[in-house]
Amino acid sequence: MALTLPSSNAYGYPLLIKQLLIRSRLVSATQEIVSGTDMRLSYAELNERIGRLANTLKVSGIGEGMRVGVMDWDTHRYLECFFAVPMMGAVLHTINVRLSPTQVLYTINHGEPDLIIVHQDFMPLIDEIKSGFDRDITIVPIGNGEGYEDWTGDAPSNFDFPDFDENRTATLFYTTGTTGNPKGVSYSHRQLVLHTLGLIAGFGACPGNGGFHRGDVYMPLTPLFHVHGWGFPYAATMLGLRQVYPGRYTPDTILRLIAAEGVSFSHCVPTILSMVLDHPDCRQTDLSQWKVIIGGAALPRSLQDRAATVGISLHAAYGMSETCPFLTVADLSSDDPEVQAQTGFPGPLVHLRVVTPDMQDVPHDGETTGEVVARAPWLTQGYLGNAQASDALWSGGYLHTGDVGYIRENGSLQITDRLKDVIKTGGEWISSLALEGFASSCIGIEEVAAIGLPHAKWGERPVLVAQLSKDADPDLVRDVVMEEIQSRVGLGELSKWAVPDEIFFVEQLPKTSVGKLDKKVVRQDISSRSDIKA
């Protein structure tokens, strides 16, 4: 008997973003979504507003395959765009508003949006760059949000979102790499639906009240333009969670929303958490029910300690723009700080390897390092219009993360460095992250970068570039740091080749648009200093 004889009536069920909403209409119709301090809507209204936005975009000339850019803070409007734009078969271009004006212009000309929805705070930027647009783009200024209501308010709430190929592109955004122009990364409906399921399966099946579950109140603290807010807005909506969108990130609003709305789950880079912890209101806010996933950079022990004193539960996770982003998460059921800060265990269906340059697996002994490569059903298939970079990204059939790490015997991954930040001295690989970790634990160090400077004999030699704490004495701090590092050499935690040749102090360490240390600029700055002999 032949095995494939489906009924012609059978529904094949392509994986489409619209299907993430199905459950919410039935089960979460009255559940609440909070946006800033003055807007509340139910999931029933969310669904209606998505229909209105789609009808409005249609009237504005947007059809299947066209592209819609968004420049807004993290609001319910952005959430509506997450659904309406791809659901109508168009492509959502989440424009990174933190790039330099030149880079924003580059991403707009490269991404080719047909229409851009622009919050008033970003209109000056648009005015600055619009003469450089190389095509006609409809700009929809929405003021402080009221313009969005005027624009969409009268449209019908019913829109017959069509079925189409699940491999159709749904989203587009640009990576904020530290080398060259931003690179365009896109994801299909299928990839985003699978990522949503993977995120829930990976963060959800957790004993106790850890992880991400139906009882949580969710608030993103990673901008929605950055890898779809790490995909959690889709997952939270599918689960029908109570959600809180903080608008522009200001520590007082964030703290107020956590307290008033009972926020229990967020995710962010270390800098944002640091900003919240630094705010004076932090001491008056109960943060003991707040779980925070830290990604985008290593979780510093000092930040962990500060978070612990106010009762925040922190766990590290790992991924990147090219991976949608979920690759790994630390053991969510652990309250051991060492374990919580680990890069963690691969998510469901994630095939993670640590390999030599010729793609051989290194032993899982908790020390042998190599490059981290991966397969998963939600990895970008290449960079937009950049075949060379795409081929390099997927060299050997695995996505190359550009990160260096090792795997422990229990299967947990540890990132030790960026491949390009590893300091290669006399045949040894020195982890810049390890050096930075030891140095930053010293009193007087506000922030520090470890970089390799070219060296005639050794290839490279490590140096530290540090920002002092207020009123700290550079000579004293230099001695403390060197003593700490020598003691780590004594303990066998660092090779003697890792001892930096010098510590430079700077006013301010340069950051990328998403708040990461920009080591490329650090290297340039230091190399150009006249007091350095290369």
In the range 310-369, which residues lie near its own copies by CB under 8 A? 333, 345-346, 348-352, 364
Nearer to its own copies, 20 or 255 (CB): 20
Among the listed residues 101, 134, 164, 214, the single contact to its own copies using CB under 8 A:
214
d(CA 28, CA 220): 19
Neighbours of 471 (CB within 10 A): 6
Total site size for its own copies, rule CB under 8 A? 82
Contact segment (CB under 8 A) with its own copies among 8-16, 223-231, 426-434, 460-468 equals 8-16
In the range 220-259, which residues lie near its own copies by CB under 8 A? 238-239
Shortest CB 44 distance to its own copies, Å: 11
Strand segments, DSSP code E, in 178-248 are 184-188, 217-218, 242-245
Among the listed residues 180, 207, 357, 427, the single contact to its own copies using CB under 8 A:
207
Catalytic residue check, 175: yes
In the range 396-435, which residues lie near its own copies by CB under 8 A? 396-399, 407, 410-412
Dig out the tokens for 273 from the structure. Answer: 């958490």
In the range 270-289, which residues lie near its own copies by CB under 8 A? none
Residues 6+ apart with CB under 8 A from 451: 421, 423, 432, 462, 463, 465, 519, 522, 523, 526
Shortest CB 217 distance to its own copies, Å: 12
State the catalytic residue, choosing from 58, 130, 424, 516: 424
State the catalytic residue, choosing from 322, 371, 436, 447: 322
Contact of 302 with 316, CB cutoff 8 Å = no
Shortest CB 296 distance to its own copies, Å: 23
Neighbours of 32 (CB within 10 A): 17
In the range 494-533, which residues lie near its own copies by CB under 8 A? none
Shortest CB 456 distance to its own copies, Å: 37
Contact segment (CB under 8 A) with its own copies among 16-24, 269-277, 311-319, 520-528 equals 16-24
Dig out the tokens for 263 from the structure. Answer: 């926020």
Catalytic residue check, 356: no
Nearer to its own copies, 136 or 475 (CB): 136
Catalytic residue check, 30: no
Shortest CB 282 distance to its own copies, Å: 26
> In terms of Cα–Cα distance, which of 149, 189, 137 is closest to 165?
189
Catalytic residue check, 484: no
Among the listed residues 102, 158, 209, 487, the single contact to its own copies using CB under 8 A:
209
Does the footprint of its own copies cover residue 91 (CB under 8 A)?
yes
Dig out the tokens for 232 from the structure. Answer: 């959690």
d(CA 383, CA 395): 13
> What sections of 60-138 are H helices per DSSP?
76-87, 101-111, 123-129
Which 8-state DSSP code applies to residue 295?
-
Nearer to its own copies, 395 or 469 (CB): 395
Nearer to its own copies, 182 or 462 (CB): 182
Shortest CB 347 distance to its own copies, Å: 8
> In terms of Cα–Cα distance, which of 48, 62, 242 is closest to 154?
48
> What phi and psi, each to the nearest 5 degrees, are found at residue 506?
-125, 160
Q: What's the N-to-C CA distance of the chain in angstroms?
A: 75
In the range 28-47, which residues lie near its own copies by CB under 8 A? 28-29
Among the listed residues 79, 84, 193, 224, the single contact to its own copies using CB under 8 A:
193
Contact of 373 with 355, CB cutoff 8 Å = yes
Shortest CB 357 distance to its own copies, Å: 16
Number of H helices, E strands in the chain: 17, 24
d(CA 57, CA 61): 6
d(CA 148, CA 169): 25
Which 8-state DSSP code applies to residue 131?
G
Nearer to its own copies, 3 or 491 (CB): 3
Nearer to its own copies, 52 or 195 (CB): 195
Q: Which amino acid is at 245?
A: Y
> What phi and psi, each to the nearest 5 degrees, are found at residue 277?
-70, -25
Nearer to its own copies, 29 or 489 (CB): 29
Nearer to its own copies, 380 or 425 (CB): 380
Shortest CB 353 distance to its own copies, Å: 9
Where in the sequence numbering do the catalytic residues fall? 175, 322, 424, 429
